[in-house]
């Protein structure tokens, strides 16, 4: 590729990145989060499914994984379940009834996105999900799911 074409391609890539940053954070989708400074740099959807189905219970460093969910009727939980499991939260009820008889409990359920952020930020090994518009310095995004409800409110 000629040098001028490479420069033009690099310049356009930088310009598009700058425009994306200028628009601010995404206003829809799902941000999968861990505590700031987490040793897991990113997660895949497949690994996330194992974690939230309690099939993977420890991180590579030996720390217990603590997944947290929002309530089943929450739009973010519904979108998360569809993208990670291709099923609704209610469709997973039979799975959790079966797992209960094997001594495995489902992830904790927290009432709000702020509760998820607080739990994840202060609980070693915790992982959860929130709207991109509520993110702050307490947590690190380890995976973005781009389909999801629009943010209900913007941060102040």
pTM: 0.79
pLDDT tens digit sequence for 119-137: 999 999 999 999 999 999 9
Write phi, then psi, for 46 (nearest 5 degrees). Answer: -60, -45
pLDDT tens digit sequence for 13-23: 444 444 344 44
CATH architecture assigned to 26-150? 3-Layer(aba) Sandwich (3.40)
Query: How distant, in Å, are the alpha carbons of 5, 12, 143 from that of 48?
Result: 40, 34, 9
Average pLDDT over residues 34-43: 84
User: d(Cα 127, Cα 44) in Å, to the nearest integer?
Assistant: 13
User: d(Cα 125, Cα 89) in Å, to the nearest integer?
Assistant: 23
Residues forming beta bridges with residue 154, ordered by sequence position? none
Query: How distant, in Å, are the alpha carbons of 20, 70, 86, 115 from that of 120?
Result: 27, 13, 24, 8
pLDDT tens digit sequence for 71-102: 999 999 999 999 999 999 999 999 999 999 99
User: d(Cα 145, Cα 129) in Å, to the nearest integer?
Assistant: 10
Residue 58 in this model has a pLDDT that exceeds 60: yes
Q: What ranges make up the beta strands (E) of the chain?
A: 28-35, 66-69, 108-109, 126-130, 139-150
């Amino acid at each position: 590729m000629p040098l001028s074409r490479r420069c033009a391609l690099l310049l356009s890539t930088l310009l598009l990145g700058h425009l994306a940053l200028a628009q601010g954070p995404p206003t829809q989708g799902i941000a999968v989060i861990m505590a700031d400074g987490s040793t897991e740099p990113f997660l895949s959807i497949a690994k996330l499914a194992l974690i939230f189905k309690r099939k993977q219970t420890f991180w590579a460093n030996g720390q217990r994984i603590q997944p947290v969910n929002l309530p089943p009727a929450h739009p973010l939980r519904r979108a998360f379940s569809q993208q990670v499991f291709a099923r609704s939260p209610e469709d997973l009820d039979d799975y959790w009834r079966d797992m209960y008889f094997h001594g495995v409990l489902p992830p904790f359920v927290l009432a709000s996105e702020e509760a998820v952020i607080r739990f994840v930020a202060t609980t070693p090994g915790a992982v959860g999900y929130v709207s991109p518009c509520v993110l702050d310095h307490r947590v690190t995004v380890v995976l973005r799911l781009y389909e999801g409800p629009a943010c209900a409110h913007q941060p102040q």
